[in-house]
Amino acid sequence: MSGDSHDESVIEDAAADREYEQRRARQRSRNALIAAVLVGALVLGACALLFGLFNRGSAGAVQPPPPPAVQDANFESQQPQWVDCYTGLQCARVKAPLDWADSNGEQIELALVKQPALGGSPRGTLFVNPGGPGSSGVQYLSAGVSGAAGRALQQEFDVMSWDPRGVGQSSAVTCLNDAEMDDWLYGTGATAGLEEGTQEWVDAALQENEKYGEACLKATGPLLGHVDTASTVHDLDMLRAIVGDDKLNYLGYSYGTYIGARYADAYPDRVGRMVLDGAMDPTSSEAETVREQTRGFELALRAYMTDCLSRKECPVSGSVDEAMAQWRAMLDAVEAQPLTGSDGRKLSSGTLLTAIITPLYSQANWPYLDQLYTSVHEGDADVALSLADFYYDRVDGVYQSNLITAFGAINCLDSPRQLPLNLEQMRAEAAELEQIAPTIGAFQGYGDVSCAAWPVEGVDSRPPVQAAGAAPILVIGTTGDPATPLRWAESLASQLESGVLLTYEGEGHIAYGNSACVNGIVDEYFLTGRTPENGARCAA
């Protein structure tokens, strides 16, 4: 931005910075629901302020024409046909092979979106991924680029995102229509009336999940077996080449850190400047992931309760332990007798847990928990259902994206389970969850049934990463992150040969955009290549 004088320029820049911070806070609300890994069967991510603050980015959108088929597998030579879309953005589509092991075979499409560098003459492209898996990068960037990258980076880089394979406007996974999705997420299901953890319950759950997987395979076709993260890593390297960058500059959030870590390990010599915020541990098993996230959300709920009890309007009373017991009693009551919303949908304990988890991604959202407890305690299901709808990207009965569908498909490839399931082991893991998280742990077990009957074979063995010879990679963890605990960032940074750990001492998921200290370090790194000392910390 330039003005007629230096003073005017300073004033304009200050106003722009204030607008950036405001938009950043607004965008964080939506990022929460599209950015992370698994707790039971839930999608997790990075969050700030909730309802009414998310611009879905539909205004000004123009669907670019499909690209022609790529001949002779020369995918990196594609020239995207960029067209104006949304507000100030450009959109395009490119081709990628369905199966990178057979690049001359069937092809899929990837949807791209970018904001050209605001200062002109970009130094390159900064790729951004919001997480998921299943998050739409197109939707993410169209909701406000300032929710993805700071103003200083927007000045110097083309900021670009994409819908990974299987997601959103790219060749996408499809399973159910909206009404069927409602029944899948909010219905009573085949396990209704059965005791969780019994063989009868497991058999019913497997049968129901098998039916769902078959619907996905029928509607999606061969793509269902090729939406794994390793294939997305190949796609990302193709996109790097298409935009003409020798090195990849990348900012990944939550599950986006997994994409970035796997990319660095596969192509260490092509790593430019990479920031992995809200880091996942690539070696964490599914059971370990569920355990650590269950522990994290229990601690986040306790942090909320500590704050709540210091306020007059807090809907619960007593000590923190007594207040936590009141939340557990509410979950137990809904488990025994689901509530009915004004639209006829049932509020189960699982849906209530989704509603509880949703505001825990950011301290700014904690007031929603006041409303949630009060309404459910009074027998009103609508606040809880609204929070769950927000989580599932559902508006007035219409699912705005295939977030949940793509999440399941990608996760089942990346973290496969095998039949027969070990029921005794699952019972032991469920008991451990309840022990480490007395409030929510009892509602988090038996997640193995979700992918055990998946119709396509999993591909990921979750090996450690090293990225030998890569340029410095900045890994960020937050002390109070419920979705991606700090220990994961510590583990990832130690695995990476060139990993540099930055710790944010605060609450919530994702640090960049929520801390001036972190913002300054990240921006300086992308602009100059300078990293902080390994182990540096930023106070809240």
Summary count for the chain: helices (H), strands (E) = 17, 16
**What is residue 60's predicted lDDT score, i.e. its pLDDT?**
65
pLDDT digits (tens, 9 = 90+) for 49-105: 343 323 333 446 778 888 988 988 899 999 999 999 999 999 999 999 999 999 999
- Rounded mean pLDDT of the chain? 89
User: Tell me: the pLDDT tens digits for 361-381?
Assistant: 888 999 999 999 999 999 999
Q: State mean pLDDT over 118-125.
A: 95
pLDDT number for residue 55: 32
Determine the average pLDDT of the residues in 116-130. Answer: 96
The Cα–Cα gap between 340 and 323 comes to 25
Q: Give residue 455's pLDDT.
A: 96
Choose the CATH number for 246-284+464-540 among 3.40.50.1820, 2.70.98.10, 3.20.20.140, 3.40.50.720: 3.40.50.1820
Q: What pLDDT is recorded for position 27?
A: 37
**Are the C-beta atoms of residues 540 and 504 closer than 8 Å to each other?**
yes
Q: pLDDT value at position 415?
A: 86
3-state secondary structure of 230: helix
Structure tokens at 33: 């629901």
Tokens of 251: 């900012």
Q: What is the mean pLDDT of residues 500-509?
A: 95
Pairing of strands 125-129, 107-115: unpaired
Helical spans, DSSP H, in 358-485: 367-377, 382-392, 403-414, 423-436, 449-452
Closest to 181 in 3D by CA, of 407, 507, 355? 407
Provide the CA 93 distance to its chain's centre, in angstroms.
Answer: 23
Q: Is the pLDDT of residue 8 over 50?
A: no
Strands (E), 385-529: 394-395, 398-399, 473-480, 499-507
More confident residue, 398 or 15: 398
Q: Tell me, what DSSP letter sits at residue 401?
A: S
pLDDT of residue 191: 85
Share of the chain above pLDDT 70, in %: 89
Q: Are strands 339-340 and 346-347 parallel, antiparallel or unpaired?
A: antiparallel
State residue 45's pLDDT score.
40
pLDDT score recorded for residue 219: 98
Burial class (CB in 10 A: 0-12, 13-18, 19+), 309: middle
- Per-residue pLDDT reduced to its tens digit, 214-258: 999 999 999 999 999 999 999 999 999 999 999 999 999 999 999
Q: Does the pLDDT value for residue 23 go beyond 80?
A: no
Q: Give which of 280, 253, 299, 262 is closest to 488, Cα–Cα.
A: 280
Q: Is the pLDDT of residue 482 over 80?
A: yes
pTM for the full model? 0.89
Output the six-digit token pair for 56: 């879905």
d(CA 100, CA 234): 7
Q: What is the DSSP string of 376-397?
A: HHTT--HHHHHHHHHHHTEETT
**pLDDT at position 63, please?**
80
Q: Does residue 473 carry a pLDDT above 50?
A: yes
Query: Quick one: average pLDDT of 369-394?
Result: 97
Q: How many CB atoms lie within 10 A of CB 157?
A: 27
Q: pLDDT digit string (tens) for 305-343?
A: 999 999 999 999 999 999 999 999 999 999 999 999 999
What's the rounded Cα separation, in Å, for the pair 509 and 308? 20
Instruction: Return the H-helix or E-strand segment holding 10.
Output: helix 6-31
- Is the pLDDT confidence value at 203 over 70? yes
Distance (Å, whole) CA 476 – CA 489: 6
- Residues forming CATH 3.40.50.1820 domain(s) in the chain: 246-284+464-540
pLDDT mean over 183-190: 88
